Amino acid sequence: MMTDLLLLPGDGIGPEVTAQVRRVATKIAPELTIEERPFGGASFDQLGAPLTDETLAAAKAAKAVLMGAVGGPKWKDAPRDKRPEAGLLGLRTGMGVFANLRPAICFGPLANASSLKRELVEGLDFMIVRELTGGVYFGQPRGIEALPGGGRRGVDTQVYTTFEIERIARVAFELARGRRNKVASAEKSNVMETGLLWRQVVTDLHARDYADVELEHILADNAAMQIVKNPKQFDVMVTDNLFGDILSDAAAQLTGSLGMLPSAALGAPGTPGLYEPIHGSAPDIAGKGIANPLAAILSFEMALRWSLERPDLADTLFAAVNRALEGGARTPDLGGNMTTVEMADAVLAQL
Ligand code: IPM
Ligand code: MG
């Protein structure tokens, strides 16, 4: 039988926050079958690899996969292919989840928690669509080599094909149609060949199939500035793997805390989605029971919507999170003193 939800708690605060997802899932959708496997550094310690073949097979056989967080100082000297992060990259490519949806939503009760002025972030609902399985994260050649005359040389390669650009742009245009109908495409076409190709492919696709959607091309550095200057001008922003990594961290902070934001990574229709909070493993607070579980809980909300065919329950859960925040529920990252479990309790009480 197919598992509905595979939990990969991972490292650091990952197990603490995914435990709260399990509580919420059990309450809101008791019929879901849930399985759990070690991942990242925890998997390396127990099984010798950050992502085993069995775990990848289980991920591909589930309807949705929810990952907590990976990485930590313990594994920083491990060879690159054994590092927890390599497990995550292997999972993303192995599952073929090329489209990473990273919403930056400012919950009303948290508008004061942002480092930006309330009026700039209140009502913010902006979606970054990050290409997730290509670009400089995976391009060949890469490596560090010794130079004959002394010194070393590090190489990374940024590569994109028209196929990869077109399929991610399509996701962005489709999403925009169900939102405010605007797409901003961010690249560096002024200096990069891949950026130039990106702009051409997006322009052609827009003219061919999505002329009804408003399209703006924006250089990635300007995008970073505009995100902190006037984030509400954006609806959907589509960008490559590396720019998406950076711009989504900036966008996340607008909403008050990285501890609030979920993400969904989707592949071809009918294949399982991978859901992850945007935050990392936060080794500084791991084990203290004070991590904000809302990013993980909202990642489950996205799983209900995009993979588990229960948008109704997703709406219910989203509203419960908002009411918990309205009621004053705050972990330390939001300026309060609730524990992880108490924050989840506050959400459960609203379900
Ligand atoms: C993210 C993270 C990952 C990335 C790391 C942990 C490999 O920063 O999901 O944004 O760079 O993609
Ligand atoms: Mg990142």
Q: What is the pLDDT of residue 115?
A: 86
Owning domain of residue 272 = 1-98+267-351
The tokens describing 152, both together, are 């070393």
Whether 250 and 104 share a structural domain: yes
Whether 222 and 121 share a structural domain: yes
List, for residues 220-238, the tens digit of each pLDDT value.
Answer: 999 999 999 999 999 999 9
Q: What is the pLDDT of residue 256?
A: 79
Whether 231 and 294 share a structural domain: no
End-of-domain residue from the set 259, 275, 290? 259
End-of-domain residue from the set 199, 229, 259? 259
Measuring CA to CA, which residue among 306, 191, 207 is closest to residue 243? 191
Whether 107 and 202 share a structural domain: yes
Whether 62 and 197 share a structural domain: no
Whether 253 and 323 share a structural domain: no
Assess whether 125 carries a catalytic annotation.
Answer: no
**Angle ∠(134,308,274) on CA atoms, nearest 5:** 25
What residues does ligand 1 touch, defined as CB less than 6 Å away?
71, 85, 88, 245
Selecting among 188, 210, 235, 275, the annotated active-site residue is: 188
Q: What is the pLDDT of residue 253?
A: 84
CA distance 236 to 226: 14
For a substitution probing ligand 1, which of 245, 249, 258, 281 has the most ligand atoms within 8 Å of its CB? 245
Selecting among 160, 245, 275, 333, the annotated active-site residue is: 245
Whether 216 and 198 share a structural domain: yes
Q: What is the pLDDT of residue 40?
A: 97
End-of-domain residue from the set 230, 259, 288? 259
- Rounded to the nearest whole angstrom, what is the distance from the C-alpha of residue 88 to the centroid of ligand 1? 8
Whether 89 and 121 share a structural domain: no
Q: What is the pLDDT of residue 1?
A: 66
Contact 236, 125 (CB under 8 A): no
Phi-psi domain of 140 (left: phi exceeds 0; alpha: psi -120 through 50; beta: other): beta
Number of domains in the chain: 2
CATH number at residue 240: 3.40.718.10
Residue nearest to atom 10 of ligand 1 (CA): 245
Whether 255 and 134 share a structural domain: yes
The tokens describing 106, both together, are 């400012």
List, for residues 264-291, the tens digit of each pLDDT value.
Answer: 999 999 999 999 999 999 999 999 999 9
The answer to whether the predicted template modeling score (pTM) of the entire model surpasses 0.85 is yes
Contact 14, 281 (CB under 8 A): yes
Whether 72 and 51 share a structural domain: yes
Assess whether 240 carries a catalytic annotation.
Answer: no
Assess whether 245 carries a catalytic annotation.
Answer: yes
Ligand 1 atom closest to Cα of 132? 12
Ligand 1 atom closest to Cα of 248? 10
pLDDT mean by block of 10 residues, the chain; 351 residues: 93 98 98 97 96 97 97 92 94 97 92 88 95 97 96 98 98 98 98 98 98 98 97 98 94 86 95 95 96 97 97 97 96 95 98 96
Whether 195 and 79 share a structural domain: no
Q: What is the pLDDT of residue 114?
A: 84
